Amino acid sequence: MSPARYPQILDDPLRNRGTAFTAEQRRVLGLDGLLPPAIESLDEQVARSIEVFRRRPRPIDQYLYLRELQDTNLVLYYRLLVDHLEEVLPIVYTPTVGLACQRFHRIFRRPRGLTLPYTERHRLPELLGNRRQPSVDVIVVTDGERILGLGDQGSGGLGIPIGKLALYTAIGGLDPGRTLPIVLDVGTNNEERLADPGYLGWRHERIAGPEYEDFVERFVQAVETELPRAMIQWEDFASHNARPILDRYRDRICSFNDDIQGTAAVAVGALRGAIRVAGSRPRDQRIVVLGAGSAAIGVADEIRQALVDDGLGADEARRRFWVLDVDGLLTEERSDLSPEQRVYARPASEDLSAGATLADVVWAVRPTALLGLSTARDAFTEEVVRAMASHCERPIIFPLSNPTARSEADPADLERWTDGRALVATGSPYPAIQRHGGEVPVSQSNNVYVFPGVGLGVVAAQAARVTDRMLRAGSAALGALSPALRDPDAPLLPPISALRDVAAEVALGVAVAAVEDGVAPERSREDLRARIARARWSPVYPD
């Protein structure tokens, strides 16, 4: 057999089957001698691969092993993720993906996705044309400035879109050959990265202002030209850019911001379940939010809409919120607030003044819900939590910051400080808590409960835009699946093992809303459900 017949199939992760190639396939494709003689089924490959994964000593080593598998055999990679989702999710996604972004330039092996540097701003359509995927359904793009709670990671932020899209496939069922991770490399203000001789990104301070806006516009124009039907998920942009980008492009291209809208959709879904477990209604809540970045304000906006939907007037709903940032309570006399933050500024006539601390606010307001999106570790102190629990029978406490090292509280502490009465959801994974002699899983209010279903719903419905109503429909679908609605001691969100089923229901809600909003072709609910089922890619070797 001539060396010229050596096939490229072993180097193509979409087509490679590794040891699962049959004897006949090996003969026809010229693979004899290139693979070990054993022929494995996909199940056997998964069993062997998860054993190797478990033997890796550290989470970052497990991450690297999975990335190697992703670069080698996509069917095997995604089958492993689907079969062992609860075990591998903290590795593929938060918290380990944050460490992977910090070390991105030390662990780089093979290219995945696209890096679009500012220096090539005049060639973005050409660079986008160099992608491996002819057709693309979903793009996840970041500029790397606000990676989780870790800050500016420059071009190393590409690890986040890679991880997000892995979950679009493993959970949502999107075809991995039709997804594209992108980082806009506009420099970095991270001195550690700039001083690192191994840093692979553009070694320049981060651009800003008109130059930055022009670069993002050039990127959007390139997508409109090259991939006009693709949905864009804006991911981990800093607050000062995230909201303006969302507002600028939401009615122009099919796009949404996961940190603002996805975080809000999941938090509201979990909150709806918690409110019902507490025997209350949305309109009865008094809500304290620690954190005033784009994600925090996005969550507050969606909860405020839920209060309005439950019968409150717009002004009254707004007055049910007390929002704090690093300088204390947002109040009208402060001159440093953005327009989005000013919506929640408290009147100067109130007893609480600018600079009021979280403890001050909790004692004065007697909130029913306390939400953390501050990345301030252990900010929900024992004093604050016990004060809240002293006036609230079932306090709703959501420390939503991630990674785990930036979480506002440990659920085990919340359980102890409230005598097991707190209704808790976290932004990062935590072990089960002990209650009544047994273990109760901790709900992770993770965007993964919503964004894969959003992408699936958009693709199946052929939606041209992502509307607020679509995201609210996805959130409502999630809230209706809360196990706590059937058992008050159960978690607020379904188990990780049920995420593929959750994605299908979220997708249906999103798709139906898209039709109702007139951004997708007219189809019945039954037709949309069938289209969702047909749109899902399965990690199996084709016949």
Residues with catalytic annotation? 93, 164
Tokens at residue 124, please?
């973005």
φ and ψ of 108, to 5 deg:
-60, 130
The contacts of residue 291 (CB under 8 Å, 6+ apart) are 323, 324, 325, 371, 372, 373, 374, 375, 376, 401
Name the strands in the sheet holding 179-185, side by side, starting at the edge strand that comes first in the sequence. Answer: 114-117, 179-185, 138-142, 231-234, 255-257
| DSSP, res 155 | G
Q: Which amino acid does the sequence have at 263?
A: T
Q: Are 160 and 147 in contact (CB under 8 A)?
A: yes
Cis-peptide into 403, omega within 30 deg: yes
Q: Are 253 and 239 in contact (CB under 8 A)?
A: no
The contacts of residue 475 (CB under 8 Å, 6+ apart) are 264, 265, 266, 268, 269, 272, 302, 450
Q: How far apart are CA 437 and CA 423, in angstroms?
A: 18
Q: Are 441 and 491 in contact (CB under 8 A)?
A: yes
Nearest residue to 407 via CA among 379, 433, 387: 379
Angle at CA of residue 390, ends 385 and 392, nearest 5°: 90
φ and ψ of 425, to 5 deg:
-140, 140
Strand locations in 60-187 (E): 114-117, 138-142, 179-185
Helix ranges, 30-95 (H): 42-55, 59-70, 74-83, 85-92
Q: How far apart are CA 384 and CA 375, in angstroms?
A: 17
Tokens at residue 299, please?
């969550």
Query: What end-to-end distance do the CA atoms of the chain give, in Å?
Result: 26
Q: Are 42 and 20 in contact (CB under 8 A)?
A: yes
